Chains A and B, each alone.
Chain A
Amino acid sequence: MTAIVNIFLKQGVLDPQGKAIHHALDAMNFEGVEDVRMGKQIVLKLSTNNKEEAQKEVEKMAEEILANTVIEDYTIELI
């Protein structure tokens, strides 16, 4: 089973990298971009095929190390 963890700065926490990308897109005349958020994706290959178990374990990983929950939110996708 593969777990995909997406980590983004929380809404309301200014994202300097997202903002810089937004500025660059504006400068290149790409129109209609209202907001850019930059995050990171961590892909974990797990030995288990039990979805519930995987969800629990990856949540623990995200809380303890993968994300800094003071400033970041995360989502977990299992496939």
Chain B
Amino acid sequence: MKHVAILQFPGTNCDLDTKYAFEKLGCTTSIVWHKERELPSNADLVVVPGGFSYGDYLRSGAIAKFSPIMSAVEEFANNGGKVLGICNGFQILTEVGLLPGALKRNIGLHFISKFQTMKVVNNTNDFLQKCDKDEVLNIPIAHADGNYYIDEESFKELESNEQILLRYSNEKGEPVVVNGSVTSIAGVCNKNKNVFGLMPHPERALETILGSTDGIKMLEGLIA
């Protein structure tokens, strides 16, 4: 049975949804307070969940970067451990430098909260291995700072290394502008393909009654 460590910062609000999601998929979980210095020794996956760590003060994720637990997460990732950042977790992982780029204020300045279709760009990684390339998924998004930015040179690298995970799209898979992200990027991974970040919330898409079950195959890929 896989064990998932879920971080909790002051202002994190998706920790319990994430716990519910991974337990539903048959994992054991632990919530790890940000002041801890060590991750559970049996952790197979670390999830930095969504929310508003430190009230998004200064910049989203900027202050969480210096929480004691983050050095342990960096070490875990640098040793090849799998790390997933969802929404604010994605912002934190870019601030820490575990993922390339940065997330700016949405182009329309609004907080966007809705179901959004997106296309699987690359599935040559653990996270999207259970999805088909070019498959269109329907997953909720809920963010104000999801406008992904990366400079041109790093973007080329991202593209050629197959590090782009998802792009916001219409139902046909054609890219659409949702928040102003460079080429509609919704999620990326690092070069070694063990650290993943995305703005959409797969943990909120596990049940038909809640509108979509597309999140299951994403999360399952990480615990396969």
Interface residues of A, Cβ cutoff 8 Å to B: 9, 13-14, 16-17, 20, 65-66, 68, 70-71
**In the complex, chain B residues 96-119 whose Cβ is within 8 Å of any chain A Cβ:** 101-102, 104-109
B209 at the interface (CB under 8 A from A): no
Query: For residue B2, which residues in chain A have a CB less than 8 angstroms away from its CB?
Result: none
User: Can you list 13 A-B contacts (CB < 8 A)?
Assistant: A9-B104, A13-B104, A13-B149, A14-B180, A16-B106, A16-B108, A16-B180, A17-B109, A65-B58, A68-B102, A70-B94, A70-B151, A71-B102
**In the complex, chain B residues 51-72 whose Cβ is within 8 Å of any chain A Cβ:** 58-59, 62-63, 65-66
Is the CB–CB distance between A17 and B66 below 8 Å?
no
A13-B149, A17-B105, A68-B102 given; name 12 further pairs at CB < 8 Å: A9-B104, A14-B104, A16-B105, A16-B109, A65-B63, A65-B65, A68-B59, A70-B101, A70-B102, A70-B149, A71-B102, A71-B149
Given known pairs A13-B149, A16-B180, the reply for A65 and B66 (CB within 8 Å) is yes
- How near does chain B come to A54, taking the closest CB pair, in angstroms? 21
- The main secondary structure of chain A at its interface with chain B is mixed
What CA separation (Å) do A14 and B105 show in the bound complex? 10
| Chain B: number of interface residues, binned into ranges | 20 to 34
Of chain B, the residue at the smallest CB distance from A40 is B58
Is the CB–CB distance between A16 and B65 below 8 Å?
no
What CA separation (Å) do A71 and B107 show in the bound complex? 15
- How near does chain A come to B106, taking the closest CB pair, in angstroms? 7
What CA separation (Å) do A17 and B109 show in the bound complex? 7
Is the CB–CB distance between A71 and B109 below 8 Å?
no
B147 at the interface (CB under 8 A from A): yes
What CA separation (Å) do A16 and B94 show in the bound complex? 20
Query: For residue A17, which residues in chain B have a CB less than 8 angstroms away from its CB?
Result: 105, 109
Is the CB–CB distance between A71 and B58 below 8 Å?
no
Is the CB–CB distance between B62 and A16 below 8 Å?
no
Query: For residue B147, which residues in chain A have a CB less than 8 angstroms away from its CB?
Result: 16
Query: For residue B180, which residues in chain A have a CB less than 8 angstroms away from its CB?
Result: 14, 16
Is the CB–CB distance between B58 and A16 below 8 Å?
no
B95 at the interface (CB under 8 A from A): yes
- How near does chain B come to A40, taking the closest CB pair, in angstroms? 8
What CA separation (Å) do A62 and B65 show in the bound complex? 14
What CA separation (Å) do A71 and B66 show in the bound complex? 19
